[in-house]
Structure 1
Amino acid sequence: MKDRVIALAALLQAIKLVQQMANNGQAETQPLAACIDSLFRFDADSAEAVYGNPRELDSGLRRLIAQLDGGDRDTAQTRMAMNVLSLERRFIGNDAAVAAVQKTLADIQRQREDLGPTHPTILSRLGELYAAQISPLGARVLVQGNPVYLGQPDVVGEVRASLLAALRAAVLWRQVGGSYWDFLLSRRAMTQTARELLG
């Protein structure tokens, strides 16, 4: 359960970052770094190993509690999360896309070590990777926001980089046993686990 909660929190954190970029033209650096770094942790043993300290996912854990509890549910985030989970099925079913993404991430990894995960060059390359390999799969994730920012190539690249991180979280969620039944049968357990990780 813990690994599934971490993966879902990471998914929601990445989606929240997408919303921040789309509406404000920028996002919080630390939550963004945690999401982007996850793309380069290829052989981690657990969800916690992918994201490091669960406190790196504070905003995602808070969003998960809000979404599951219904007290402060964001329907746009729910819709985007479901779209990403649907996109994950198409991605995993396309061996060529999976191989291309893995190969490109391994190449970007060298630059990331020098520049850091949130450097504009890294975010731009990740955005290009998303556009080249993920967008053609269909099941597009509709991003709404301020047209001024969504018309800027740099912001669009950062949005796509964050969507790639969201997709990474969705893949991880499936890998650790996540399914749509969780949302029907395990809401209370997931909420409790998220609170414990925050506490």
Structure 2
Amino acid sequence: MATTLFDRTIAFAGICQAIKLIQGVARSGCCEHSALRISLNSIIVTNPASAFEVFGKEENLKLGLRTLINELDSRISSSELTRYLINILALERKLSGRRDSLAQLGNHLETVQRQIQHIDLLTDQMISNLASIYLEIITPLGPRIQVTGIPAQLQQIDVQHKIRALLLSGIRSAVLWHQVGGKYRHLIFGRKKMIEHAKIILTRNL
């Protein structure tokens, strides 16, 4: 798989898109359905030839690219987004170091790939299935990610399922980011270049 700045930007936009959707769901209980579908579908794209293939089209990551541009800048980055980023990247590193967990995850995702041939990905059942995978495989790896939102929303079962499914999507994009050469140092020394590249990608898809 290629390891260009384009690939790293696309993968990181995937993480940002998942986080932005989580923030929306945690506050209002809903989010943009088209972006939700793209993020959840990325989970089951397990053997992509490129980072681009995970999300289908550049325009599918508009929300993630905007989030990357608006919030990754060190001068304006929100502490909440940063906290989610750090936690997702840390969990992905733990997952990548556990062959048993990776094998389990692969088996579960094969099941989901079969299921979506008959059931739409955005049904409550499928989102619940993805949430269950997160609970079973990711949650035991480390401290739980504390999601900030409206308590009345966070108490809703369907909201909890959607958030966990989106966290799984964020981790999937973090896996991709590392596969295409993403390193922690890129967040410190390379964020300006990534922001500039995200602007280029976004501009040609307006």
- TM-score, normalised with respect to structure 1: 0.96
Q: 1:107 aligns with which of 83, 94, 111?
A: 111
- What is the aligned partner in structure 1 of residue 185 from structure 2? 181
- What is the aligned partner in structure 1 of residue 61 from structure 2? 57
Spell out, residue by residue over 1:89-126, the C-alpha distance to the aligned partner (whole angstroms, 9 max, x if none): 11111111111111011101122232222121110000
Q: 2:29 aligns with which of 2, 25, 28?
A: 25
Residue aligned with 1:69, SS? coil
Aligned length: 199
Cα distance in 2 between the residues matched to 1:40 and 1:5: 20
Deviation at 1:146, TM superposition (A): 1.1
Deviation at 1:139, TM superposition (A): 3.2
Does structure 1 residue 40 correspond to structure 2 residue 44?
yes
Q: Please, what is the CA RMSD of the aligned residues? A: 1.2
Cα distance in 2 between the residues matched to 1:156 and 1:68: 26
Cα distance in 1 between the residues matched to 2:141 and 2:192: 34
Does structure 1 residue 158 correspond to structure 2 residue 171?
no
Does structure 1 residue 145 correspond to structure 2 residue 149?
yes
- What is the aligned partner in structure 2 of residue 121 from structure 1? 125
Q: 1:192 aligns with which of 166, 191, 196?
A: 196
Between stretches 40-49 and 61-70, larger displacement belongs to 61-70
Could you tell me which runs of 5 or more consecutive residues in structure 2 were left unpaired when the two chains were aligned: none
Cα distance in 2 between the residues matched to 1:73 and 1:16: 13
Deviation at 1:18, TM superposition (A): 0.9
Partner letter of residue 5 of structure 1?
T
Deviation at 1:72, TM superposition (A): 4.6
The share of aligned pairs that are identical, in percent, is 37
Q: 1:98 aligns with which of 99, 102, 110?
A: 102
- TM-score, normalised with respect to structure 2: 0.93
Could you tell me which runs of 5 or more consecutive residues in structure 1 were left unpaired when the two chains were aligned: none
